[in-house]
Structure formats: structure tokens, C-alpha cells
């Protein structure tokens, strides 16, 4: 079965990679191909509830590499594979992104104008409940133009609602939380 060997479109690539990544209980967040000199760089972002460890990333990388070697979806040209987790600077665009950041401070730009900054208290498939200066405020995802987690360097110690590493390992985005 021959696929497009001169150019791989992102949708086909994501459809190819999604079931491989899901075998590890992960979500495929993005797959992107960009030129890198004579080669191409295939960047694959994966994540899951509770975070993803470096060991998890290594397992997914091996499985993705093996599947790509067995198929011609990337064509004949040389490429470099990079698998990682999205960093904290990733925009919150899906309900699962909000859920995975429960307890964190977010800055939200609304489609109607205006900004809201608050801590995510709870999430549903349609909206997030934020604590904005001690008051609860519901923000519907449909009303969000942009939302990003805010980096906090002086967060109080002992807060168990903060997402943390899995099994005591450093999160794969390279962040280290010190309390």
C-alpha cells in the first residue's frame, strides 16, 4: 500500500499515530512535520491525565519509531523523530487540557473582549469553574479566545491539587516543582 511519499499531510499522520499513542493510555496532542536542513523533523506531542513521565515518552517513542519504520507514510526522505509532552505554555484548547490543569492559575482572554485570571477549580465538557479573587466564575470554552497556564514560582508548599509528577518522576515537560 503506497501513500503519498513526496509530502505527508498532518491529518493522515495524526490518524496513523493516534492508535499507537492510545495503546499507552496517552492522547496525541499534535504531530507536525517541519524542514530541518536536508532532513525533516517529525514532532509528536503526547499527554495524559496525571501527566507523562520520561519513561512513558521513551516507550511511546519506541512504538512510534517501529510503526513508522514498518510503513511508508513518511516517504523516502530522511527525518528525525521527536516525541515529547506539551509544555506548560501550551494553550488550553480542549476540555481535557483544562482538566489536566485543575488547581493551576490561568489567564483567559474572552472572545467578547476582556480578560479573566483565576485558578481552575473544576471542569466539565462545556466550561471551567475558576476561583477569581475568592469568587467562583464559570467560563464557557465557547467564550474563550485564548487561555494559558500562568507560571507560579512562589506557590505555597503542600498544595495537593497541583498537578505533579507521576510516581515521583520529573514531568516530561522538564518542569521541576519545588515546595
What's the pLDDT tens digit per position in 93-146?
A: 999 999 999 999 999 999 999 999 999 999 999 999 999 999 999 999 999 999
State the pLDDT confidence band at 155, using cuts at 50, 70 and 90. Answer: low
Which residue pairs, CB below 8 angstroms and at least 24 apart, start in 93-102? 93/147, 95/123, 95/124, 95/125, 95/126, 95/141, 96/27, 96/49, 98/123, 98/128, 98/141, 98/147, 99/49, 99/123, 100/47, 100/49, 100/51, 100/163, 101/149, 101/163, 102/161, 102/163
Say what the pTM is.
Answer: 0.68
Amino acid at each position: 500500500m503506497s501513500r503519498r511519499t513526496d509530502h505527508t499531510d498532518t491529518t493522515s499522520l495524526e490518524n496513523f499515530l493516534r492508535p499507537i499513542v492510545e495503546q499507552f493510555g496517552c492522547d496525541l496532542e499534535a504531530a507536525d512535520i517541519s524542514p530541518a536542513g536536508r532532513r525533516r523533523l517529525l514532532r509528536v506531542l503526547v499527554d495524559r491525565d496525571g501527566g507523562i513521565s520520561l519513561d512513558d515518552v521513551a516507550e511511546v517513542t519506541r512504538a512510534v519509531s517501529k510503526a513508522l519504520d514498518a510503513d511508508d507514510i513518511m516517504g523516502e526522505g530522511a527525518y528525525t523523530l521527536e516525541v515529547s509532552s506539551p509544555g506548560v505554555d501550551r494553550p488550553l484548547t480542549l476540555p481535557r487540557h483544562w482538566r489536566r490543569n485543575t488547581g493551576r492559575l490561568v489567564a483567559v482572554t474572552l472572545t467578547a473582549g476582556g480578560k479573566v485570571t483565576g485558578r481552575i477549580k473544576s471542569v466539565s465538557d462545556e466550561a471551567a469553574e475558576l476561583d477569581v479573587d475568592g469568587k467562583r466564575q464559570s467560563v464557557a470554552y465557547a467564550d474563550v479566545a485564548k487561555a494559558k497556564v500562568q507560571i507560579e514560582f512562589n506557590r505555597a508548599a503542600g498544595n495537593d491539587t497541583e498537578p505533579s509528577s507521576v510516581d515521583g518522576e520529573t514531568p516530561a515537560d522538564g518542569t521541576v516543582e519545588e515546595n
